[in-house]
Structure 1
Amino acid sequence: MYEHPEMPNVKIWDLPGIGSPNFKAKKYLKDVEFNTYDFFIILSSERFMEHDIMLAKEIRKQKKSFYFVRSKIDNDITSQKRKKGFDEQKILSIIREDCKKNLKELGDPNIFLISSFDLEEYDFESLQNTLEDELPEYKKNALLQAWPVCSAASLEKKIKMFKRMIWAASLASAGVAVIPVPGLSAACDLGIVVLFLTRCYYAFDLDERSLARLSEKVNKPHLKDMAKSKFVTAIREKALTRLQVSAGLAAIATVEYFLSLVPAVGSAAAAGISFATTQYLLREGVNDLANTARAIRKEAGLDSVH
């Protein structure tokens, strides 16, 4: 099992190949605890075999989703480039049709051609979109946060998702504000803001590891130094408190507390102030992180000007 480095609720299991010595086909689903998983990706760097088809049939019987992924497509393209009359789209079409031919017993399943070294190419984004369409809403959001940014559209989709989530996070903040405990609302608001914007930071690939990988890929070392916005810096230095505990926001927290002591009307007012304050901070943070991510991708030459 591989736990996502920033999202512990997203786990990927690398299962043994069906029919391997310790996992015989007849007992495979029981031995790998089939019901544990949300969906299956059947992966091959060559052609899909009889065991792959057998597994897909069993998954279908259990009414779970499976996806065929043909990996290392970059190797196939590289090996064909020197040949006369090279046509990349033609090569991809031949590979796809060959895969479908081997899987004809399953009807017409989707085949996704990917290269882990170049997520922007081939079918990686198509796989992401397909998973999103077929997963329940709450799992869709978790997947979208965990998925790497593979295009401008992918980034914008993540940004829209986080902006939609701001309302719910702000409402949670308002719910705490009605409790008349000194400092409780401010502490919870800070926790909500820190968690929310830290997830944005990783989802938008602004962490140092992602930026280093991107810089190396496009041979532009200075990209690592572009993530200098106030929110990126605060998250990286674990100093988000500096953004919230200003004189103005500290005063708001004090007003919230005293309002929460007043029955009914005071509590509602405290909740409203907390909601508005948290919403403002989250909007500012998401916009700041989103604009930083867009600028970095533009400088990397990956996206056109928006």
Structure 2
Amino acid sequence: MATECCAVLEAVSASGESTLVRATAKATKTIGQLLNVSLNIAVTGKTGSGKSSFVNVILGLSENDNGAAPSGVTETTTEPNMYVHPTMPNVNIWDLPGIGSPNFKANKYLKDVKFKTYDFFIILNSERFTENDIMLAKEIRKQKKGFYFVRSKIDIDISSEQRKDMFNEQEVLSTLREYCQSHLSEFKDTKVFLISSVYLEKYDFEILQNTLLDDLPDHKRAALLQTWPVCSAACLEKKIELFKALTWAASLASAGIAMVPMPGTSVACDAAIAFLFLSKCYYAFGLDDRSLKRLSEKVNMSLLEYRAKSKFANAIQNKALTTLPVCAVVVTLTTIEDLLSLLPVVGSVCAAGLSFASTQFFLTEGLKELANTAREIIKVAGLDTI
């Protein structure tokens, strides 16, 4: 039991706090941010620029899925439309009307679209950036918010150029980048991201993600990482590292609950914390049905059989984590925790130690298995070679 208490002390030290109570409060806040932090992403651009397709990519939805943004060659966005991320309900992607459209005149655009709602803006165009785009960027800069110029539909440009003699993809991309930059003379130091909403693993889609992660505060960064689709092995590893770094917080939150002398509380709360935490991993790693279906269609092979090897993935899919063999050990330990928590002072501390150790063990095992399953799928799909 001394080992578990030492583990708690190490976790308290790692949290940067001086006491278990303060460390537990910090852990609870950290987990709360992981589960509940809000993020509002604004996507704007003229008709036909690919806004709706980009929105659906971030949502992880196909055009015909419920909750997807409609797309078309005519103006489909006549007012700001909010799309709630299907697995991150506090993350909203906003499809905004193009600046300068009939109902949204350039001179009062930001007021009309409720500027203060958004954490940052994606200014999207499938051709050259216009004066309206530049004016919008200037106003956003004045308000001290982030904006990113994104040139979409790069796959169509590449496909067109491939028909020409002496085709060189890197030269084409360089030319496109310079062309876009030439129309942004007032933003010479601002990068233009070249993307395709069809081939996320190509061009600058991951570079855009990394740039956003660098610019966002920590708690917002966690929300973006969970939301952003897995487009490469490197992208997946960032997600895995996020959750590895948060196991201490989930385990300490469990330890704090174990100190409360109420039989049955710790078992129920440990189970809830474990399910929520590992479910976040499951969806962030792209192991859900919708994500695997999209990737399977893209690589023209079934990937569900690889997920089926994971006991944790199957348990999360069926909402039955307690059926796992490893869970029996945890339940036994949490039953002991309940008894210990009834003892004054020393018993409560030891109960916290057991709760921390059992929850950390369970989360570490679950995270490891889900991560390895996702890595295998990425490898089979060929995304680890990009």
TM range (shorter): over 0.9
Offset from partner CA, 1:241-295 (integer Å, 9 cap, x none): 2127854333212211111011110000000100111100100000000000111
Q: Does 1:45 align with 2:138?
A: no
Change (3 A) 1:290 1:245: closer
- Map of 2:351 onto structure 1: 270
Of 133, 141, 144 in structure 1, the residue corresponding to residue 222 of structure 2 is 141
Q: Does 1:59 align with 2:140?
A: yes
Of 253, 256, 259 in structure 2, the residue corresponding to residue 172 of structure 1 is 253
Q: How many residues in Structure 1 have an aligned counterpart in Structure 2?
A: 303
The within-5 A match list for 1:88-107 is: 88-107=169-188
Q: Are the aligned partners of 1:45 and 1:70 in contact in 2 as well (CA < 8 Å)? A: yes
Note the C-alpha offset of 1:108: 2.6
Of 338, 343, 361 in structure 2, the residue corresponding to residue 257 of structure 1 is 338
Of 265, 269, 291 in structure 2, the residue corresponding to residue 184 of structure 1 is 265
- Map of 2:150 onto structure 1: 69
Structure 2, gaps ≥5 residues long? 1-81
Note the C-alpha offset of 1:109: 1.2
Q: Are the aligned partners of 1:190 and 1:244 in contact in 2 as well (CA < 8 Å)? A: no
Note the C-alpha offset of 1:89: 0.7
- Map of 1:194 onto structure 2: 275
Matched to 1:205, the amino acid is: G
Note the C-alpha offset of 1:146: 0.7
Of 274, 290, 303 in structure 1, the residue corresponding to residue 371 of structure 2 is 290
TM norm structure 2: 0.77
Q: Are the aligned partners of 2:225 and 2:239 in contact in 1 as well (CA < 8 Å)? A: yes
Note the C-alpha offset of 1:209: 1.0
Note the C-alpha offset of 1:298: 1.3
- Secondary structure in 2 aligned to 1:187? helix
- Map of 2:304 onto structure 1: 224
18-27 or 248-257: bigger deviation: 248-257
Q: Tell me, in whole angstroms, the C-alpha distance in 2 between the residues paired with 1:21 and 1:246.
A: 59
Q: Are the aligned partners of 1:201 and 1:289 in contact in 2 as well (CA < 8 Å)? A: yes
Of 294, 300, 304 in structure 2, the residue corresponding to residue 213 of structure 1 is 294
Of 88, 91, 95 in structure 2, the residue corresponding to residue 10 of structure 1 is 91
Note the C-alpha offset of 1:26: 1.5
**Residue identity (%):** 66
Q: Tell me, in whole angstroms, the C-alpha distance in 2 between the residues paired with 1:251 and 1:126.
A: 46
- Secondary structure in 1 aligned to 2:123? strand
Note the C-alpha offset of 1:132: 0.5
Q: Tell me, in whole angstroms, the C-alpha distance in 2 between the residues paired with 1:72 and 1:249.
A: 50
Of 240, 246, 251 in structure 1, the residue corresponding to residue 321 of structure 2 is 240
- Secondary structure in 1 aligned to 2:260? coil
Change (3 A) 1:24 1:277: same
Offset from partner CA, 1:75-114 (integer Å, 9 cap, x none): 0001111111111111111110010000112233110000
Change (3 A) 1:245 1:122: closer
Q: Are the aligned partners of 2:322 and 2:328 in contact in 1 as well (CA < 8 Å)? A: no
Change (3 A) 1:248 1:281: closer
- Map of 1:280 onto structure 2: 361
Matched to 1:14, the amino acid is: D
- Map of 2:211 onto structure 1: 130
Change (3 A) 1:51 1:284: same
Q: Are the aligned partners of 1:69 and 1:113 in contact in 2 as well (CA < 8 Å)? A: yes
Structure 1, gaps ≥5 residues long? none
Q: Are the aligned partners of 1:159 and 1:290 in contact in 2 as well (CA < 8 Å)? A: yes
- Greater relative CO, 1 or 2 (CA 8 Å, sep 6+): 2
TM norm structure 1: 0.97
Q: Are the aligned partners of 1:100 and 1:108 in contact in 2 as well (CA < 8 Å)? A: no
Offset from partner CA, 1:95-152 (integer Å, 9 cap, x none): 1001000011223311000001111000001000000001000000110111111111
